[in-house]
Amino acid sequence: MEVSRARIAGVNSRIKVVRTGLTASAALPGSPPGESLSGRHAASALPLDRIIPGDCLAELQRLPSQSVDLVFADPPYNLQLEGALTRPDHSQVDAVDDDWDKFDSFAEYDAFTRAWLAECRRVLKPDGALWVIGSYHNVFRVGAILQDLGYWILNDIVWRKANPMPNFRGRRFTNAHETLIWATPTRSKRYTFHYEALKGGNDDLQMRSDWFIPLCTGDERLKDADGRKVHPTQKPEALLARVLLSSSNPGDVVLDPFLGSGTSAAVAKKLGRRFIGIERDPVYAKAAQQRVDAVTPIDPQAFAAAPAKRSEPRVAFLSLIEAGLIAPGEMLEDERRRHKALVRADGTLQLGPAVGSIHKIGALSQGLPSCNGWTYWMIERDGQRLPIDALRGEYRQTHRAAA
C-alpha cells in the first residue's frame, strides 16, 4: 500500500473527481475502458517484470490503455488510528501508522480512490479483472466508487484469517477478516474464471466466497536486519495464489499499483505470469525486488490452466456405448446406491417404467427438476466405482489423440 501525499493535495483541482466522477484521463463511466478524454495515452511497450519506483497515479498514466489482464490492488485502508496501540502488558503493537495511510478527510480519500481506480479501468482489457482488498474502514467506499466508474462487481470475498490479531482493548469484536472485491471493467461475460480447477482443488466442491487462510508469518514474513517487519501489511502468498489461479492465465500481465513488499509480483513470477509493480517507498521497493529476484518459477505443467469442461467437445452418452466404454444392459447407480438404472442400447436409461436421458432419469430418481447425470450416475470398473464422467474424459482423451 502506498500513496503520494503531494499528489493528493492537488487531486481535487487537477482531476475534478469528488463531484463529477471523472478524471482527465479516465473513460466516462459506462463507456469502454481506453476511451480517454485527453487521448494522451499512446500505445507503448509495457515495462514487464519490473518494479517501478514512483507515484502510482503518475506511473499508471504512463501505461497504454487496455494492456493489462489483471490488477491486484492493496490500497491504503485509511485506518484513522488515534495514538499508539498497546497490548495488555503495555507493549506496543506494530500497527499501521505510516503517513501513506493517513488522509485529512473522507473526501480526500475518495478523490484519490476514484483517481487510481479510473486509471486502472483504462489500462485493463475489457475482459480483464480487478481485485481490491480492504477492511471495514475503506472497502464500502471503494465498492461504491467502483460502481460509479462503471465496473461490474462479480463477487466479494471474505478472507477469514486463521490467526487474526486480537482486539487488545476488548471494546469490539476481533477483526478476523478482510474483504476482497472482484470486478471487471465492463459487463463482458468473457472474463477468466477457472471454476473447474478451483472445484477440483476443493474436494470437488464449489469454491466458496469465504477463504480461510492464515496471516503471513514465519519465513515468508520479510524482516529487516533488526528483525522488524519490513512492511506492516504484507499479504500471504496463498491469498495471492488463489486470486491469480482463479482469474488469470499463464502469460497474463498482472499489475499492482501498490506493490508494497512485492507479494503479487513474487506469486506472479512463480506461477508464470508477467508482472508490473509500482511502489513509491524505496525501502519497500528494494525489499520487493530482492524478494522477486529470489523466486524460481515452478514447472509450467504445475500451473497450466486446466481446460474448462464447458469448452471441451460435447460427448453424447450414446458415444460411450458405441465406443465400448459402457455396454447395453449394464446397471448404473447413484453414489449412495439408492437407485439403479439400466443402460439401453439407444443411449437412454430405464428406471422402472421410465425411460429417458442420463439427466432426466437422474432428476426423476431424486424428485428434482434437473440433474447432471454425468456426475450423478456411477459405474464399477476394476473394483472401483467411478462417475460416468470419468469415462467421458477417457473418450475425449482417446479421440483427441486420434485427431
**Region of poorest pLDDT, from 40-44, 228-232, 254-258:** 40-44
Q: Which of 302, 329, 348 is the last residue of a domain?
A: 302
Q: What is the pLDDT of residues 382-394, one digit of tens each?
A: 889 999 999 998 9
Q: Give a yes or no: residue 352 inside a domain.
A: yes
Q: What is the pLDDT of residues 36-75, one digit of tens each?
A: 433 344 334 899 999 999 999 999 999 999 999 999 999 9
- Check pLDDT > 80 for residue 16: no
- The verdict on 260 and 397 lying in the same domain is no
Per the structure, the complete domain to which residue 370 belongs is given by 317-401
3 state SS of 199 = helix
Give me the percent of the chain exceeding a pLDDT of 90. 64
Q: Give a yes or no: residue 209 inside a domain.
A: yes
Distance CA 282, CA 263 (A): 16
Q: Give a yes or no: residue 170 inside a domain.
A: yes
Residue-level pLDDT at 102 = 65
Domains contained in the chain, number: 2
- Of residues 5 and 367, which shows the higher confidence score? 367
Residue-level pLDDT at 43 = 39
- The verdict on 58 and 199 lying in the same domain is yes
- Check pLDDT > 70 for residue 2: no
- The verdict on 152 and 242 lying in the same domain is yes
- Of residues 265 and 166, which shows the higher confidence score? 265
Q: How confident is the model at residue 333 (pLDDT cuts 50, 70, 90)?
A: very high
Give me the percent of the chain exceeding a pLDDT of 70. 80
Max CA pair span of the chain:
78
- Check pLDDT > 90 for residue 187: yes
Residue-level pLDDT at 209 = 96
- Check pLDDT > 50 for residue 7: no
Distance CA 253, CA 321 (A): 44
* pLDDT mean across residues, the chain: 84
Residue-level pLDDT at 9 = 42
- The verdict on 156 and 276 lying in the same domain is yes
- The verdict on 342 and 220 lying in the same domain is no
- Check pLDDT > 90 for residue 203: no
Distance CA 380, CA 45 (A): 56
- The verdict on 195 and 145 lying in the same domain is yes
Q: Which of 270, 302, 334 is the last residue of a domain?
A: 302
Residue-level pLDDT at 311 = 63
0.75 exceeded by pTM: no
- The verdict on 71 and 206 lying in the same domain is yes
- The verdict on 232 and 162 lying in the same domain is yes
Q: Which of 302, 331, 363 is the last residue of a domain?
A: 302
Q: Give a yes or no: residue 35 inside a domain.
A: no
- Write out the three cell numbers for 199: 472445484
- Going by their DSSP bridges, the two strands 331-334 and 274-279 should be labelled as unpaired
- The verdict on 202 and 337 lying in the same domain is no
Helix axis angle for 139-148 and 106-123, nearest 10°, is: 50
3 state SS of 335 = coil
Instruction: Say which CATH number the domain at 129 has.
Output: 3.40.50.150
Q: Give a yes or no: residue 226 inside a domain.
A: yes
From the list 64, 49, 1, the residue with the least C-alpha distance to 289 is 49
- Check pLDDT > 80 for residue 15: no
- The verdict on 236 and 343 lying in the same domain is no
245: phi then psi, degrees, rounded to nearest 5: -70, -30
Q: Give a yes or no: residue 28 inside a domain.
A: no
Q: Give a yes or no: residue 40 inside a domain.
A: no
- The verdict on 64 and 139 lying in the same domain is yes
Q: Give a yes or no: residue 14 inside a domain.
A: no
- The verdict on 245 and 123 lying in the same domain is yes
Q: What is the pLDDT of residues 99-110, one digit of tens each?
A: 544 678 889 999
- Of residues 357 and 39, which shows the higher confidence score? 357
3 state SS of 133 = strand
Q: How confident is the model at residue 171 (pLDDT cuts 50, 70, 90)?
A: confident
